Chains A and B, each alone.
Chain A
Amino acid sequence: MSRDSNYDHHISIFSPNGRLYQVEYAFKAAASASGLTSVACRGSDTCAMVTQKKVPERLIDPSSVSNVYTIIPSIGCLMTGHSPDCKALVSRMRYEANDFQYKYGYPIPVGSLAQRIADIAQVNTQKASFRPLACTAMLVSVDDEKGPSLYKVDPAGHFLPFKATASGAKEQEATNYFEKKVGDLSGYNADETVRCAIMCLGSVLGSDFRGSEIEVCTVEKGGKFKKLSEEETERHLNDIAEMDA
């Protein structure tokens, strides 16, 4: 009987009560693999994403530690989860985005990219020979037609547009924080959007940051996706400290 052999725990087939255990384990792996939390939100004309930066060992070169990736100049992503899986997914996203642009002659809209990646992730939940990737991707861009856009793609192959979202260890607390702010978000300008994301992460982790402990990235209307330098991050942190004082 399938109940005895527990195959449903080992590969992606349904259990008798209708669950896909491998997919659920993938979610747990993505959330707890790195222990980091990431948050993202969109304002009136900007999207901002913030994540913790933890260098796992003292001997590692800190400049090489990053979870922020550019897919094409107008689309950026923040990956949370098992780091080699994150890099594999980024490679695939870059391939899909560039292939679209080459075939159709214009940059891929972020929603289409999210859809494509979600479809690929779903295939892994139906194959016996492939495990799902233990990573959640948050994609941002300022779309020509839809304005600032934020999408989250998870190991199961869900993808949804969000006004604000979080993933990782403290995902639930961060989401609760954003739910209180969601009404104001659509009116925030570039600086306010960035600060809202930083303050969310700060309140959830219960600590103040230095510029070197977080990675902040933004994409503004007409602009390229970019990661803020330590100086720019410090400027925002100082502005936040002054606001509270």
Chain B
Amino acid sequence: MDAALAHSFTISPESSRLKPGELSTGTTIMAVPFEGGVVLGADSRVSTGTYIANRTSDKIAQLSEKIFCCRSGSAADTQALTDYVRFYLQQWEVETGRDATVKVAAHLMRKICYQNKDNLSAGVIVGGWDEVDGGSVYNIPLGGTMIKMNCAIGGSGSTYIYGLTDALYKPNMTKAETVAMVKKSISHAMARDGSSGGIIRTCIVEKSGVEREYIPGNQLPYGP
């Protein structure tokens, strides 16, 4: 534990709970719903202490056809979590004959996070589109609370952009405005947080489908 503390430069609670040498997605993640869909965004840096193990990782994992989750904290823990939620969500879809809803996916994620809170170091944001609620976003930070939000941010880099997102967010933004806001906010976080960097990956989920894009590190809206 001490070795991890010595190496970490951030004040995020996540990095202090990781075991020495464990991979951290010390990170910036974000998800914002808009009319008819959701925009999810994340940086791409995975670090072990000061070494960047992967500078182009994909922190937006797919839980079902139109539901995704942004992962932060321990890379191993969040991968295990998404494996479990996919497992249960697929069974739910088959048994009910319906497409998965974001509420059910978030509920499953939160149940597992809460029941294993002593052994996990994971903060996730579940976002997606479903027939019942349209675009919705649920933030599930460390410990396993679940909060439905209009603009969810998470990860070590999020601490630097609380003020910015409060200022930029307006209700009823269009898809383009939401995408621009997400990209700008994550760029600002990447500029100040040592554990966030690389490229910005975005995922736009709507009734018509899913679009995944990325912005290379030298074309960020704000930076370096």
- Interfacial residues, chain A to chain B (CB-CB below 8 A): 70-73, 94, 98, 101-102
Main DSSP-derived SS at the B contact region: helix
A139 to chain B, nearest CB (A): 14
The 4 A-B pairs at the shortest CB distance, nearest first, are namely A102-B87, A70-B94, A98-B91, A98-B87
CB neighbours (8 Å) of B83 from chain A are 102
Instruction: For A72, list chain B residues within 8 Å (CB).
Output: 90, 94
B213 at the interface (CB under 8 A from A): no
Give Cα A94–Cα B95 distance, bound, in whole angstroms.
9
Q: Is the CB of A94 within 8 A of B94?
A: yes
Contact with A along B90-115 (1 / 0, CB 8 A): 11011101000000000000000000
> Residues of B within 8 Å of A, CB-based: how many?
9
Task: Identify the closest chain B residue to A99 (Cβ).
Answer: B87
Inter-chain contact A73/B87, CB cutoff 8 Å: no
CA distance A234 to B83 in the complex (A): 41
B84 to chain A, nearest CB (A): 8
B174 to chain A, nearest CB (A): 33
**How far apart are the CA atoms of A98 and B97 in the complex, in Å?**
16
Contact B87 A71 (CB under 8 A): no
Q: How far is the CA of A101 from the CA of B97 in the complex (A)?
A: 19
- Chain A to chain B contacts (Cβ below 8 Å), 7 pairs: A72-B90, A73-B90, A94-B91, A98-B91, A101-B87, A101-B90, A102-B83
Report the bound CA distance from A72 to B90 in whole Å: 8
Give the distance in Å from the alpha carbon of A73 to the alpha carbon of B94 in the complex: 7
Chain A neighbourhood of B97, CB < 8 A: 70
Inter-chain contacts of B84 with A (CB < 8 A) = 102
